[in-house]
Amino acid sequence: MMDTQLTIASMIKRTEQYFPKKEVISRTQNGVQLFTYKDTVGRMKRLGSALESLGVKKGDRVGTLAWNHHRHLEAYFAVPSMGAVLHTINFRLSKEHLIYIINHAENKILLIDEDLFPLIESIKDELKTVEAYVIMTDNERLPETSLQPVYSYEQLLDKADNTYEFTTKIDENDPAGICYTSGTTGKPKGVIYTHRGIYLHSMALGMTDTLALSEADVVLPVVPMFHVNAWGMPFAATWMGTTQVFPGPNMTPKIIAEMLEEYKVTFSAGVPTIWLGLLKELEEGTYNTSSLRALLCGGSAAPKGMIHMFESKYGIPFLHGYGMTETSPLVSVTRVKSYQSDLPVDERLELLSKQGLVVPGIEIKAVNENGEVKPDGKDMGELLIRGPWIADAYYKGDSNSDAFQNGWLHTGDVVTIDEEGIIKIVDRTKDLIKSGGEWISSVDLENALMAHESVFEAAVVSIPDPKWQERPVACIVLKDGAQHKVTKDEIMEYLRPQFAKWWLPDEVLFMDEIPKTSVGKFLKAKLREQVEKQLVI
Ligand code: ADP
């Protein structure tokens, strides 16, 4: 067979040729703008030319600090297609981590949104490698800034060579992008994505039994474009000629609900916190969401109660995906197999709340001290993954080399695998609660708590215990209006029939909010500190 190169430039060549009329809809600071793919690919090429004129060469890192919008999409394709490496920076990281990752990735140019540049101004003296700043704004005039030298994105595009074509001298194994983990444990670690990895991952997103992304879809990525490349959706959707709707800066559940309705979105993706917010919005307002064929939820466990509400009340099918920065990210997705279509509601929900079946192209296994776990849905072990879009090292060989051993990525996620091959994440290794020598899954307890009608969110952490080593404590945020109605006793009565006695939390604490990471996951280390303070441990 021919050894043609799987590159990002070849993906947009197809978009340009076959889908010039299809559209990218983008909400920015100044309103909603519409571009055809003809415009979009033209702008991508001009961006490539502009970056070249700023001195960007093959292998250089170009960083973005941006919301989800058309300019960010343009950078997604222009930067790797000219041979450089796209570093999508999570602007919600602490300043210390921001400085660390920009220096560590040795970013040469930063493309920054108009509302985010003050953040970079405040750390500019610490940035060692940045040679120019480009502000992405709709306005003709650049805002006052101390960043130097500074350029306007639109002016650069206006001046750029419109006959520019992307280089064909790219090897599929060249780096195309870099993302950093969100650094919940220690320093963020860099993961390099190759052209080949992104190309194959995009193919996987199109498969019918994964996300089935197609030309006919209208997709709205709520998951930030700095969070594992918005789970790879902008790459796949552009390649397939799918209409894309970008929700832009400071989006709220209301904005999302309005855009879903107005643009007849068929597919959207985000973390559970986003969908909990949308659910509340749907309950309070009147929206027509009938165009949605599925919502993809990932990043942390999707609560069963939430899946049930979306499916039963709003008729919106739910897909639950699992992955991590190191895996591009898609590893598995929940799918009800053809012969399971008449499962009773409870069993179906149980299935949908698990992390699903590994996608074609990727291999998994789980291991514990006794070797490979039994596929019985009970035996627990650490999930190991390998495949063509799974990282095999951290950038610059950073710490935690334990993660890569004997050709497998060691995820740090503890799972069971059942006889159907369905993966269920029981916990992260560091969050498992060990009580009297036995494991308690915080995820199972959280799922049960979040199914309670008055509970908005719940997280379970361990506290030290002189007799049992560790004991679980439940932290609960009640739904608006539920205050004063729910007591610890009621919660305990509710959990009692569902769990063995020794799994039941020792304490139930009611809180206003649960601390979260920059990408909306429970920040268990911080929560544990708060709990220990509150219980005076
Ligand atoms: P970080 O590791 O810095 O939190 P990632 O976004 O890469 O950043 O997070 C990956 C982790 O998120 C996984 O290892 C897993 O623990 C968790 N995760 C991702 N998807 C799911 C899911 N569907 N259900 C439960 N946990 C998930």
Distance from Cα 267 to the centre of ligand 1, integer Å: 21
DSSP tag of 325 = G
Residue 181 annotated among the catalytic residues of the structure? yes
Residue 326 annotated among the catalytic residues of the structure? yes
* pLDDT tens profile 193-223: 999 999 999 999 999 999 999 999 999 999 9
Distance from Cα 429 to the centre of ligand 1, integer Å: 12
Query: Does the Cβ of 10 fall within 6 Å of ligand 1?
Result: no
Q: Is residue 64 over pLDDT 60?
A: yes
What is the rounded average pLDDT of the residues 494-515?
Answer: 93
Distance from Cα 299 to the centre of ligand 1, integer Å: 5
Question: Which of the listed residues 322, 432, 442, 517 should we mutate to test ligand 1's pocket, taking the one with most ligand atoms within 8 A of CB?
Answer: 322
What is the rounded average pLDDT of the residues 346-366?
Answer: 96
- For 124, half-sphere exposure in the C-beta direction (CA atoms, 13 angstrom radius) is 19
Query: Does the Cβ of 184 fall within 6 Å of ligand 1?
Result: yes
Query: Does the Cβ of 334 fall within 6 Å of ligand 1?
Result: no
Residue 3's pLDDT is 94
Q: Please tell me the pTM assigned to this model.
A: 0.90
Question: What is the sign, positive or negative, of the torsion defined by CA atoms of 158, 160, 161, 163?
Answer: negative
From the candidates 128, 337, 434, 485, give the one annotated as an active-site residue.
434
Integer Cα distance of 136 and 133 in angstroms: 10
Residue 513's pLDDT is 92
Residue 10's pLDDT is 97
Cβ contact 127:99 at 8 Å:
yes
Query: Does the Cβ of 355 fall within 6 Å of ligand 1?
Result: yes
Cβ contact 399:189 at 8 Å:
yes
Residue 399's pLDDT is 61
Question: What is the sign, positive or negative, of the torsion defined by CA atoms of 495, 501, 507, 513?
Answer: negative
Q: Kindly list the distances between the CA atom of residue 185 and the CA atoms of 20, 189, 200, 298, 301, in Å, as whole numbers in the listed order.
A: 44, 10, 29, 20, 19
Pairing mode of beta strands 294-297, 318-323: parallel
In whole angstroms, what separates CA 11 from the centre of its chain?
Answer: 22
Cβ contact 323:227 at 8 Å:
no
Cβ contact 85:61 at 8 Å:
yes
Q: Is residue 430 over pLDDT 90?
A: no
* pLDDT tens profile 235-277: 999 999 999 999 999 999 999 999 999 999 999 999 998 999 9
Question: Which of the listed residues 425, 426, 427 should we mutate to test ligand 1's pocket, taking the one with most ligand atoms within 8 A of CB?
Answer: 425
Query: Does the Cβ of 428 fall within 6 Å of ligand 1?
Result: yes
Query: Does the Cβ of 64 fall within 6 Å of ligand 1?
Result: no
Q: Is residue 96 over pLDDT 80?
A: yes
Q: What are phi and psi of 68, to 5 degrees?
A: -85, 105
Q: Is residue 487 over pLDDT 70?
A: yes
From the candidates 326, 382, 446, 457, give the one annotated as an active-site residue.
326
Domains of the chain: 8-24+33-194 (3.40.50.12780), 362-428 (2.30.38.10), 433-534 (3.30.300.30)
Residue 268's pLDDT is 98
The two structure tokens encoding residue 153: 């994105």
Q: Is residue 2 over pLDDT 80?
A: yes
Cβ contact 285:256 at 8 Å:
no
DSSP tag of 522 = B
* pLDDT tens profile 107-120: 999 999 999 999 99
Query: Does the Cβ of 93 fall within 6 Å of ligand 1?
Result: no
From the candidates 57, 165, 439, 502, give the one annotated as an active-site residue.
439
Nearest residue to 307 via CA among 417, 443, 451, 211: 451
* pLDDT tens profile 3-50: 999 999 999 999 999 999 999 999 999 999 999 999 999 999 999 999
Residue 439 annotated among the catalytic residues of the structure? yes
Counting atoms of ligand 1 from 1, which one is nearest the CA of 325?
7
Counting atoms of ligand 1 from 1, which one is nearest the CA of 412?
14
Q: Kindly list the distances between the CA atom of residue 255 and the CA atoms of 73, 248, 250, 285, 400, in Å, as whole numbers in the listed order.
A: 20, 10, 9, 12, 40
The residue nearest atom 12 of ligand 1, judged by CA position, is 299
The residue nearest atom 4 of ligand 1, judged by CA position, is 182
Query: Does the Cβ of 300 fall within 6 Å of ligand 1?
Result: yes
Residues 6+ apart with CB under 8 A from 149: 131, 132, 133
Residue 398's pLDDT is 66
Residue 415's pLDDT is 95
Residues 6+ apart with CB under 8 A from 528: 461, 462, 463
Tell me which amino acid residue 434 is: K
